[in-house]
Structure formats: C-alpha cells, structure tokens
Amino acid sequence: MGKRYILYCVTVLLFTTGCGVSKYLPTGEKIYRRARVKVIREPGVTTKINTLRSDLKTATRPVPNKFILGKPYKVWWWYKIGPSKNPKGIRAWLRGQLGEPPVFASRVNPKSNAEDLQAYLENLGYFKSTVTGDTINKSYFTTAVYTAYVFQQYKIKSVTWLSDSASVLDVMTDKDKAKSILKPGRAYKLADIEAERERIDIHLKAKGYYFFNPNYVLAYVDSTVGNHQADIFLNISNKMPEKAKHPYTIDRITVFPNYSLMYPPPDTSKVGTFMFDSLNIRDTVHNFRPELFARTITYRPGMLYNSVDQNTTLNRFINLGAFKFVKNRYDVVTDTLQQYNLNAFYYLTPAKKKVIQAELDGFSTDNKYLGTQVSVNWKNRNVFKGAEQLNVKVYAGEEISISDSLRNNNNYRIGTEISLTFPRYVIPFLHIRESNLFPPQTQFLAGYEYFIEQSLYTKNDFRYQYQFDWKEASNKRHMFAPVALSYINAANVTDSFYRAAQLDPSILFNVYSEAILGSVYTYTYNTLNPLNKDQWYFAGGIDISGNWAGLLTGAKDARSKNILGTPFDQYAKFDADLRYKRIFKSKTEWANRLLLGIGAPYNNSVFLPFSKEYVIGGANSMRGFPVRTLGPGSYLPTLNDIRYFQVIGGDYEFLFNSELRFAVFGKLKGALFTDVGNVWTKDTVVFGREGQLKADWYKELAVSSGFGLRYDATVILIRLDLGIPLRKPYLPEDQRWVFNQIALGDGSWRRDNLILNLAIGYPF
C-alpha cells in the first residue's frame, strides 16, 4: 500500500508540473527542451563520437531548463510562486531557490547555432566540417536537432618565426621559442595560437617592452600543404606603433603612502619628497618608515621595466595588510633627452590603523559538546610604522555536553592571546633581503588559557611560539616554528576524580603537568588552477619536542627528568594529509582524503601529550562512530574512559575518506561516503595490548558509510551526515563485519548505529 501511495504521489506531481506549466506559457510559445547532436565522422577521424557530441552540445545555446522525467519542475515553481513586489522578500527568495525562468523556443536560432558549431569545429582543426540545424516540436516543447559532418582534424606540420623589421621577435631566444605552445605534431587549435600570442606578450613585457600587446603578434596558417597538416608562421604586425618596438628603462620611482580617495583630490606634488634607497617617498605625516617601501618594491631606477617585478610589487603591498587600496601608474619621461624611459608611481591608501571587533560564536564539537564563545579582538596594523600587526584577543567560552555519559561534565574556558607579526624575516644577527611574490611573515605569539573540566579538575595552559611563514609560490606554503613552547599545569582535582583513579590509575595522566619544548615545520601544496578537473592538496608536517632538553638532562626513562620542576615531553611526530578531488561536468565531485600520522614518543615520554594525540570518530573523520567510542586499536572505550579522559587517542593514525558529492536542487547538495580508519598507541600503559599497534594493524580498521546533505548558505555551508558502522574493530576478529546485523526497522539498532553528524563546512 505504501509503495502504491508513493507512486501515486509522484505521478500526480509530474502530471501537475507538466500540465501546470503549459497554461502559463504566452500564446504561441513553447519551452526549449534540449539540443540533440548527431555526429557523422568522415574517414580518418579518430576522435570518439561521444566526445565530439559532448563538446558540440556544450557549445549550443541557449542553456535549457532543468527537467525531471521530462518535466520542467523548476519552471513550474517559477510560475507557481509568482513574482514578488519585494525583491528581497521571502517569496522572491523562494522563487530564486526553487524555480527558474522559462527558456522559450523563440530564443533558439538553429541556423545561427549551426554556423557557430561549424566555426567551433574549425577552431579545433576540423576544417571543411559542416553543421546543419533544425527544430522539432512536440506538445509544448521544442527540441533543437543538429547534424555535424566532421572531417579529419589537422595537425601542425611546422612553426616558423619570421624576422620582423623592428627585431622584436629577436629578443626571443631559441630556448624561449622551444617553450612554445605550438609544436609540430600537435593538433591545430585556435586557442593554442591565442595562448602563444599571450605567452609572447608576457615574455616581452618581462624584457622591458611596456607598450607591447598580443594583438601585435600575427599568425598565418597554411592549410594547403596536404596530408591534413598546416604550417604556422608567426610575425609582428607592420602596424605596430613605434613606442611598442623598444624596451623601456625605469627612470624614477615615487611612492605616496598616504594617498586618499576622498574628494578633493589628494596632494601628489613633489613637495616634501625625500630619497631613500633610490626611491622618492612623500610621507609628510611620517606614518611609515622608509625601509618598508625599500623591502616591498622589488626593482630600482636604471633597471628595465619588467611586468613580473610590477605584479610582484603590487602583490607584496596588498599582502602587507596595512593598506586598504593599492594602485600604480607608469608615465613616459618627456622632460629629458633620454628616450624610452618610464617613471613609476605608487599610490597607497592606508587601512584604518586600530580596529576593535567583538564576536559571538556557536559551535558543536566532535565529542558531543555544544558550545558558545565570546571574544574581543583589538588590532593595530602599523604598530612600529613598518606594517607590523599587533593583535590582542580575549575570549571566554562554555561547552555543554549533550551525551548521557558526559552529563554534568561541562567545560569552561577563559583566555587571552597576543600576537605580533612582522612582514619580513626577524632573525637575530641576520638580515635577509628577499623579493618573493608574497612578503614573508615572522610571528611572535603568546597565550594563556584557564580551562575548567566541571567536577573533575582545572588546567592552566601557557604557550609561546616564534615562527616564520612564507610562500614559495601562490600554491606552496611553508611554516617553520623553531621555538614552540607549551606548559600545562593541572590543579583543583576533585575527590570524585581521585576515587575514579583508584579503579583506573591511567586516568591520572590527565592531571599530570607537562612541558612541550618543540619545533614545528609544515608544508602545504594545492593545485594552482581551481578550474582543473583534477584537484590535489597536500599538507605535511614534522613536530619534534624535547630533543635538546633530553641531551642536556640525559633523560632515559618516562617522566624522569624535569625542566623548571615539570617533566618535559620527548617525541617526534610526522603527519601527511593527501587529498584528491575529481570534478565532473555534471557538478558532481569525487573527493578523497588520506591521513597518515606517526608519533614516536621516547625516553621521557611513553605516549604523546594529549594535545598532540591522534583522535578518530565524529563529523570530520569516521562518521559512523562518535568521538571517544572508537579505538585505539581493538580497544572499546568504557563509560569511565569517555568521562574522565580529555581525549581518547593514539600515537599512530590511518584514515581514508571517499565521498561522491552531487547536486540535488538549488543550493542543496547530497553525498555518499565511506570512511576507513583507526588509531593505535605505541605502549600498553593506558589502553593495554588491545590499543597497541601490531603487525596486522589493518585487521583493526573500522569502516563506516552513509549519506549526507549539504546546504550552501553562501556565508556558511551546513552539513548533515548520517553514518552507519560497517566494521567494528572492537568485536571478535571473525565478527567485525556487521553487514548482517543491519536492521533499519529495529528501534534499538537505529539508536545504537545510526550516527547523525551536524557540522559546518565540508569534512575535507
């Protein structure tokens, strides 16, 4: 009965949307349904028909409405909701989210489209190909039908660089020409010729040719050489103006660091200008030290104009954070006997120097806490007149448990953080002059947090870090913290905690004081072009602590040596985060992540400090297992473990996630996912032999799967994932796969196995 009812509802809905749209259409109008492309290949064409058909369909216009089972459901919503008098009202919002305006058949011009498709084929080298177009009407729909007769694609036989009268192309060396996009044997494509013209333009602008542009490069194509080949000849237009034929030299560089966009126009005279490191600087109010401009500008008078230097300097100014607007200008020098010189001007509008901001955040955590935090941030963007940024943050927060096992075990925190960031390397007794695309940063950070674990204990957390952050390229980033210190001291331990420790002494590790004397290095890489179908991301890091302290004190046994009365941690930690995403044309994505973590505690430590341990489970890792309920290894955490341990984790981690993301409608997206992973310990001190890493560690991998919904609210992405455990490593080895136990109709099974994860943003 239930299935019949659902089928009935679907049928009624489709009938309603189908019949409902037709009555709204203007007289004589029809809905453009789609484009059909028939491809007939002539002998010698090796490109697959499906590839040609897909490419040609992409080039057809207009883009049709969205359909489900042949019905324009979004058009129906568009008419059903109707227009709104208030463009920002709820009706207008619903109409934009659920509906879309109809694409009428009157917008379709099959003859013009056929000509465009024929030109599209010719631009890809399928010369002599022809395309015809027509329309077919059925009911209130119109379908465009195109037939393409595709001839064999031409290939490049040779590329010849012709010598021009201005000798501009002579600047291109044989090595530069060898890097050409146009190569013999490659398929002819007009887009490659345009890209080669752009490449030549970029190369010449880096050689001083300020007034050159790609339109001065001419490409002649001879397709009559036979055997479906074409010769390409590159030359310079004889209409190129004289000024574009010569390289230009920088004569003077002037900086206006207090330029205003307000009316009346600012004073940009030379009065008050002074010279510093070959730069003319007009800072009459002395807001900035001149060394800032000497470091940021990467070229000097007497050098050839170089577009790379120009873009690098602009980017460095923008990334300082001290200027709201940045622009530059080049003028030809006309008041000297020297020819082909440029004057450079930089107009910098300072950002507001001091800013104070308050934030109120609400969040959920992986370990089943709901939290809120209020913070006040004060920032000075130019504290020492060199674009140094001083940031002071004060915050307070509360986390309330929503798990029965953690009830009345809430967390409270109050803290402060002070950071001072310099837009350069700050190293004692060493000066580094660099000119990268992004200015490096040196940061000094100090923080303190007072943490209350209700009814258990309190903690004082002091931290200090001295780090360098620099970009090798826009997609390659390094961070090195030679000094990363942390001191954690537990106090106010309750009697109830000590009573629990009598039954499980290992929980005392939560209230031991510890010191981390470490150094950290991380490297991140991501695919430079966000439009690539294949997107890669990698983050790797090394975290080392206590090596020098261990050598000085001769530490050999766990917690045997102290620094300032506190045992220090000794460990080496290596992390790797590799992600791959494949983007398909249908707005579908296949995203994958592999996390590998190796922690090696030694001498003065038997396990990693809790703040450095690997944890698993929850909304961002194993979505079929809540945090604190999985691992390490085949160990099953008890209720006391869940309550008394700050984290339940390990020294080693393996995690693999894969999910298929697809559009549902509007801003709502869906996902199907599978997660595989676990954590393990090096020693047996806390979780025994079950939690220790073994040779057959792969037999203790957990597996979960499920589906999710994501709503893109523009500002944030709200994610809801429903996970189901498929393999439970804490069960006996021959019973760990639990496919046969799935019982969706059983309430107790659903309560124990359907894990709902609510989170913000994608899991990876």
Domain boundaries, the chain: 2-150, 155-245, 249-350
pTM of the model: 0.84
| CATH T-level fold of 249-350 | Ubiquitin-like (UB roll) (3.10.20)
**pLDDT over 90 (residue 11):** no
Choose which CATH entry (3.10.20.310, 3.40.640.10, 3.40.50.720, 3.10.180.10) describes domain 155-245.
3.10.20.310
pLDDT at 402: 63
**At 74, phi and psi to the nearest 5?**
-75, -30
Same CATH fold assignment for domains 155-245 and 249-350: yes
pLDDT at 349: 95
Distance CA 706, CA 710 (A): 14
Least reliable range by pLDDT among 146-150, 362-366, 562-566, 719-723? 362-366
Distance CA 721, CA 381 (A): 41
Distances (CA, A) of 331 to 269, 278, 346, 720: 15, 18, 12, 57
Least reliable range by pLDDT among 18-22, 32-36, 359-363? 18-22
Residue labelled with tokens 């136990």: 741
pLDDT at 4: 52
pLDDT at 403: 61
How far is C-alpha 30 from the geometric centre of its chain's CA atoms?
Answer: 42
**pLDDT over 80 (residue 7):** no
Distances (CA, A) of 423 to 187, 596, 603: 47, 33, 39
Residues in contact with 190: Cβ distance below 8 Å, sequence separation at least 6, in sequence order: 122, 123, 124
pLDDT tens-digit map of 465-495:
999 999 999 999 999 999 999 999 999 999 9
pLDDT tens-digit map of 396-441:
999 887 665 556 678 899 999 999 999 999 999 888 889 899 999 9
pLDDT at 174: 83
pLDDT at 628: 85
Residues in contact with 74: Cβ distance below 8 Å, sequence separation at least 6, in sequence order: 65, 66, 98, 99, 100, 665
**Triad 168, 169, 173: Cα angle to 5°:** 125
**pLDDT over 70 (residue 9):** no
Least reliable range by pLDDT among 190-199, 206-215, 260-269, 344-353? 260-269
pLDDT at 5: 47
pLDDT tens-digit map of 641-685:
888 888 899 999 999 999 999 998 778 999 999 999 999 999 998
Over the chain, what is the mean pLDDT? 91
pLDDT tens-digit map of 568-622:
999 999 999 999 999 997 789 999 999 999 999 999 998 899 889 999 999 999 9
Q: What would the DSSP string read from start to end of 42-84? A: PTT--S-HHHHHHHHHHH-SSPPPP-BTTB-HHHHHHHHH---
- As a whole-number percent, the residues of the chain with pLDDT over 70 amount to 94
Residue labelled with tokens 């999710």: 708
Instruction: Between 454 and 277, name the one with better pLDDT.
Output: 277
Instruction: Between 630 and 363, name the one with better pLDDT.
Output: 630
Q: Work out whether the CA dihedral 118, 121, 127, 129 comes out positive or negative.
A: negative
- As a whole-number percent, the residues of the chain with pLDDT over 90 amount to 74
pLDDT band at 1 (very low <50, low <70, confident <90, very high): very low
Q: What is the chain's length?
A: 764
pLDDT tens-digit map of 126-181:
999 999 999 999 999 999 999 999 999 999 999 998 876 667 888 888 888 889 99
Distance CA 467, CA 469 (A): 7
pLDDT at 8: 47
User: In terms of Cα–Cα distance, which of 695, 702, 696 is closest to 679?
Assistant: 702
What kind and span of H or E run contains 749? helix 747-753
pLDDT at 408: 66
pLDDT at 264: 53
pLDDT band at 361 (very low <50, low <70, confident <90, very high): confident
